[in-house]
A = this chain, B = another copy of it.
Amino acid sequence: MTAAHVELDAPPPLPATGLRITPMGGLGAIGRNMTLFEFGGRLLVVDCGVLFPDVDQPGVDLILPDFESILDRLDAVDAIVLTHGHEDHIGAVPYLLAHKPDIPLVGSQFTLALVEAKLAERRITPYSLTVREGQTERLGPFECEFFAVNHSIPDALAVAIKTPAGTVLHTGDFKMDQLPLDGRLTDLAGFARLGAEGVDLLLSDSTNAEIPGFVTPEREIGPVLDRIFAGATGRVIVASFASHVHRVQQVFDAARAHGRHVALIGRSMVRNMGIARDLGLLRIPGGLVVGMDEALNLPPERIVLMSTGSQGEPMSALGRMANGDHRHVTIAPGDTVVLASSLVPGNESAVYRVINRLSRAGAVVVHKDVAKVHVSGHSPAGELRYLLNVVKPRNFMPVHGEWRHLRAHAELGVESGVPREQVVLCEDGDVVDLVDGVARLVGHIRSRYVYVDGLAVGDVSESLLTERRILGDGGFIAATVVIDSVTGKVVGGPAISAKGFSEDPAAFDAVLPVITEALLRAAEEGVTDPHQLQQLVRRTVGRWVNEKYRRRPMIVPNVVEV
């Protein structure tokens, strides 16, 4: 483990006996998980997810992994293995398949059903190979064995990848709930057997590595919901992630116990629960679920609305209810709203805004700060130690986490006996070679954030985001001057047009003569070059606004030739 992270050059060629592992996403930020495995000229991709933008990435819809380094080698990709169906693991699949739609997708039944539903919207029918725990599949030179793991979505898998270079275990996201609702435990026994056979490299989920202890079982949320439902006199509205089938199951169970019907709200909630029901992952008692129309005709004390919007998304069903502009539901005193979900970092302001608006409208709002209505889907430190201790990896590479998580997980690895120099602490784009049983950081490839904004993929750059941040913080002042294209003389303007700066119509009266004077002086000095005149206007306006306002709006000089 290098103590401080170092910047590396391009990697050397991969030795013929070596396995190359390149995290293309998920290390350094939580999201856009994607790991590339290379052996003997063939490639295997594990997960292909999106990252959701934070406030520093304004106007961005999604962030993708940087596919550039594999675009000319897509023929060498034997498969994309998907560990589970969360967006940060499958969300970028349509963007990769847009380049080559026939790369096989390998995953569990529920995972593939979710990704196929996404692909159907883009009219892509993928080549899918359904696998389940206990199964082994050879994908090119990669022999993949799948293990059950427990997570906040059903049917999640870990994958062991065996090549002549050694065995790698990639956990995907997991926790070790010892009383899972569906009885499907993380396969610690399988991991122990694999460990006994020898694991050369462990890649393990670091999301909760800083948190001490163990997860609370998912099923402890049931009684909490039960108490809330028992105390509710009017409507109950529950918001949760649209893929958290077990959480929704507990809401269904509580609804039934209290004689309420459930209406599902939100496109992804309706779609995913349909898939879960069809696959037998969700038990829906007959007559429990009703349509929105029917729900609106029931008395409030017989209704549960199961909704999306738990992260404060303003356009979601719950977001619209909070803003008072949902088509069907107007929040009123007597309503009880339950946010049975995590609070994803970065969403705090949005979520608390929704809670406050619901409170102001008279609803009682129950969220994870005030009641145990959520448990995490990721193993904290106590459980991660169990995994490390049964797998006994020769080399260890923490994945899925920000630096704080990766470093905390690295220390857990060292504590559990992995030699410090065999802990590979790296970030997106770093290249790790497993050769002769030793994993080593050998180089770095470019791994930019690829931004999706509207229909465009990748044409929003970091410097464009910097422009947006400047515009967003201070607005702009544009100053237009018209010059004669032959003589270079000013024949019109200056005219000021500003947005986000001041609403005083007279705000710029004082700067117009200053620009005019600067242009006159320039004319006297014989300056006629439009670019030089632009710079002059920029400097003049910038100095004025700094002195008068102590602000830094963007200054946009326009010199138009006629």
- A residues near B (Cβ < 8 Å) are 3-5, 28, 54-56, 58-59, 210-212, 332-334, 345-346, 348-349, 352, 355-357, 359-362, 364-365, 369-370, 402-404, 406-408, 427, 453-456, 459-461, 463-465, 467-469, 471-476, 478, 480, 482, 491-493, 495, 497, 499-504, 548-551, 554, 556, 558, 560-562
**Ordered nearest first, which 10 A-B pairs have the shortest CB separation?**
A472-B472, A3-B333, A4-B362, A492-B562, A59-B473, A454-B550, A471-B471, A454-B551, A359-B403, A468-B500
On whether the beta carbons of B500 and A464 are closer than 8 Å, the reply is yes
- The DSSP consensus for interface residues of chain A is mixed
Q: A355-B404, A459-B503, A560-B560 are in contact. Are A370 and B548 (CB under 8 A)?
A: no
Q: Which of B402, B464, B503 contacts A463 (CB 8 A)?
A: B503
| Minimum distance in angstroms from A395 CB to a CB of chain B | 20
| Minimum distance in angstroms from A491 CB to a CB of chain B | 5
Q: Which of B357, B473, B499 contacts A403 (CB 8 A)?
A: B357
Instruction: Please give, as numbers and ranges, the residues of chain B lying within 8 Å of A454 by CB-CB distance.
Output: 549-551
Cα of A493 to Cα of B480 in the assembled complex, Å: 12
Cα of A407 to Cα of B473 in the assembled complex, Å: 33
Q: A4-B360, A482-B492 are in contact. Are A464 and B456 (CB under 8 A)?
A: no
| Minimum distance in angstroms from A419 CB to a CB of chain B | 17
Cα of A548 to Cα of B362 in the assembled complex, Å: 43
Instruction: Please give, as numbers and ranges, the residues of chain B lying within 8 Å of A459 by CB-CB distance.
Output: 502-504
Cα of A333 to Cα of B410 in the assembled complex, Å: 14
Give the residue among A365, A370, A402, A476 with the most B Cβ atoms within 10 A. Answer: A476
Cα of A427 to Cα of B356 in the assembled complex, Å: 12
Closest B residue to A353 by CB, please name it.
B56
| Minimum distance in angstroms from A241 CB to a CB of chain B | 19
Query: What 10 new A-B contacts, CB under 8 Å, besides A360-B427, A471-B471, A478-B556?
Result: A3-B334, A5-B360, A5-B362, A56-B349, A211-B370, A352-B404, A359-B404, A464-B502, A468-B472, A482-B560
On whether the beta carbons of A59 and B499 are closer than 8 Å, the reply is no
Q: A59-B472, A349-B345, A360-B403 are in contact. Are A497 and B464 (CB under 8 A)?
A: no
Instruction: Please give, as numbers and ranges, the residues of chain B lying within 8 Å of A56 by CB-CB distance.
Output: 349
On whether the beta carbons of B349 and A54 are closer than 8 Å, the reply is yes
Instruction: Please give, as numbers and ranges, the residues of chain B lying within 8 Å of A356 by CB-CB distance.
Output: 28, 402-404
Cα of A404 to Cα of B359 in the assembled complex, Å: 6
Cα of A5 to Cα of B358 in the assembled complex, Å: 11
| Minimum distance in angstroms from A519 CB to a CB of chain B | 14
Instruction: Please give, as numbers and ranges, the residues of chain B lying within 8 Å of A464 by CB-CB distance.
Output: 475, 500-503
On whether the beta carbons of B402 and A361 are closer than 8 Å, the reply is no
Cα of A560 to Cα of B349 in the assembled complex, Å: 42
Instruction: Please give, as numbers and ranges, the residues of chain B lying within 8 Å of A357 by CB-CB distance.
Output: 403
Q: A210-B369, A402-B352, A468-B500 are in contact. Are A456 and B558 (CB under 8 A)?
A: no
| Minimum distance in angstroms from A210 CB to a CB of chain B | 5
Q: Which of B346, B471, B491 contacts A562 (CB 8 A)?
A: B491
Cα of A309 to Cα of B266 in the assembled complex, Å: 41
| Minimum distance in angstroms from A406 CB to a CB of chain B | 8
Give the residue among A365, A482, A549 with the most B Cβ atoms within 10 A. Answer: A482
Cα of A264 to Cα of B361 in the assembled complex, Å: 47
Cα of A460 to Cα of B370 in the assembled complex, Å: 36
Instruction: Please give, as numbers and ranges, the residues of chain B lying within 8 Å of A370 by CB-CB distance.
Output: 210-212, 408
Instruction: Please give, as numbers and ranges, the residues of chain B lying within 8 Å of A212 by CB-CB distance.
Output: 370
On whether the beta carbons of A55 and B349 are closer than 8 Å, the reply is yes
Cα of A556 to Cα of B469 in the assembled complex, Å: 18
On whether the beta carbons of A346 and B348 are closer than 8 Å, the reply is yes
Instruction: Please give, as numbers and ranges, the residues of chain B lying within 8 Å of A548 by CB-CB distance.
Output: 455
| Minimum distance in angstroms from A403 CB to a CB of chain B | 4
Q: Can you list 21 A-B contacts (CB < 8 A)?
A: A58-B473, A348-B348, A352-B402, A359-B406, A359-B407, A454-B550, A455-B550, A456-B502, A456-B549, A456-B551, A464-B502, A467-B475, A467-B499, A476-B476, A476-B499, A480-B558, A482-B482, A491-B562, A497-B556, A499-B554, A499-B556
| Minimum distance in angstroms from A402 CB to a CB of chain B | 5
